Structure 1
């Protein structure tokens, strides 16, 4: 039986955007599943585990590359 990961923490970075802050917020907060389409080299996928897309309190699983 595989052991579940218990990795919890905070990830912070600086990113140059080619869009307005409003468009970025709309995508990241309201449509996080579109982030992987915009950044396929860094974020592979985003899965909704609980709740609704873009709603406060929803649980989202991010699959991303770190330190490449």
Structure 2
């Protein structure tokens, strides 16, 4: 089952904007290390990490976790 939409949250980070952009755009699989309470993992389905058109699947908690 696939869902398409927009999910937003606020997460305080201790990094420069440049460093965050690098991690989010080139190494999104590291996001689960940054905020494990919100994002449990990111899987690459097509393409290569950091390349335009890559298809990724985000595993995250929406709302309160159990």
TM-score (norm 1): 0.85
Q: Write out the 4+ residue segments of structure 1 that deviate beyond 3 Å after TM superposition.
A: none
State whether structure 2 residue 2 is matched by structure 1 residue 34: no
- Give the alignment's Cα RMSD to 1 decimal: 1.1
Deviation per residue, 1:25-47 (Å, 9 max, x gap):
00000000111111111100100
Of structures 1 and 2, the larger Rg is shown by: 1
**Gaps spanning 5+ residues in structure 1: where?**
none
Counterpart-to-counterpart distance in 1, 2:41 and 2:9:
18
Residue number in structure 2 paired with 1:7: 3
How many residues are matched?
Answer: 64
**Gaps spanning 5+ residues in structure 2: where?**
none
